[in-house]
Amino acid sequence: MSATPHITVLLQEAVEGLAIKPDGIYVDGTFGRGGHSRLVLASLGPQGRLIAFDRDPVAVAAGQAVDDPRFELVHAPFSDFAEALAERGVTQVDGVLLDLGVSSPQLDEAERGMSFRFDAPLDMRMDTTRGMTAAEWLAEASVADITRVLREYGEERFAYEIAKALIAARTGGAIATTGQLAALVEKTVWTREPGQHPATRTFQALRICVNQELEELSLVLPQVVAALAPGGRLVVISFHSLEDRIVKRFMRDASRPPQLPARLPVRAADMPKPKLALIGKAVRPSDAEVSVNPRSRSAVMRIAEKQVED
């Protein structure tokens, strides 16, 4: 059971950002517990269509409760976006929503092994039907690999020290549980930001690594832009700086004209149009939303629109 009910972050703002057409085709790249999907369906007309993705089998099971002929839920990572749409005969969509990161149920279900609040098997996979667990990865990774992951994905100052401690601990057996990992990190990290558990950054880094979260995001963004119809919207909600940096740079680069060689005699009017136009500024949860759902405090939403081709 989840200790905290899942509250959809930036619910109204995200769906409004899609600028929904009643008969349009939309994609929810991260179904979760269906908050965004249900509001999208409520905004669609009888001819509208919503295709949702989630790689978490528990989320897919929860999606079976959505009894709507306009809706289909695909058990796959959103990096399978183009392939899954092609299999369904969909060539263009009118909007895509990506609500990134980990959901409250995934954090609160001890058996998922994503939180140091519970002593549980060190799994961390969003899709528990495939892939390597965090424990399996740690059993094989080198000091260099662990250091890189903790430093790049967790921005952990003590990445090397933690990596050495993990390798040393393997001589006494595998690091198999969240409790073992949290205790080891706590012994190794001698200072930490006030109010933050010493293992916070390590758990984040391993979760991102095991699920290839940043790679998945980098893979899906170009697929989305290619599939968007002119005037279609891309809405992305990020929860930490690494995700938001990828989204911000991608949208920024796609909203600029292509870079041509210097001194090439091309008139501005003849320059290819950018693929995207940025819509508004980054949106953050209101104080009222954060007070109700503290986990929303780090959310950043960005919106871009596919440009009409000449």
Q: Which residues are annotated as a binding site?
A: 34-36, 54, 78, 99, 106
Task: Tell me how far apart the alpha carbons of residues 258 and 263 are, in angstroms, rounded to a whole number.
Answer: 14
Give the containing element (helix H, strand E) for 27. strand 25-28
- Cα torsion 38, 41, 42, 43 to 10°: value is 130
Select from 50, 124, 102, 118 the least CA-distant residue to 299: 102
Side chain identity at residue 248, one-letter code: K
Q: Edge to edge, what strands does the sheet with 228-238 contain?
A: 71-75, 49-54, 25-28, 93-99, 228-238, 300-306, 276-278
- The H or E element that residue 148 is part of is helix 143-154
Annotated binding site for S-adenosyl-L-methionine: 34-36, 54, 78, 99, 106
| E strand segments, 101-256 | 228-238
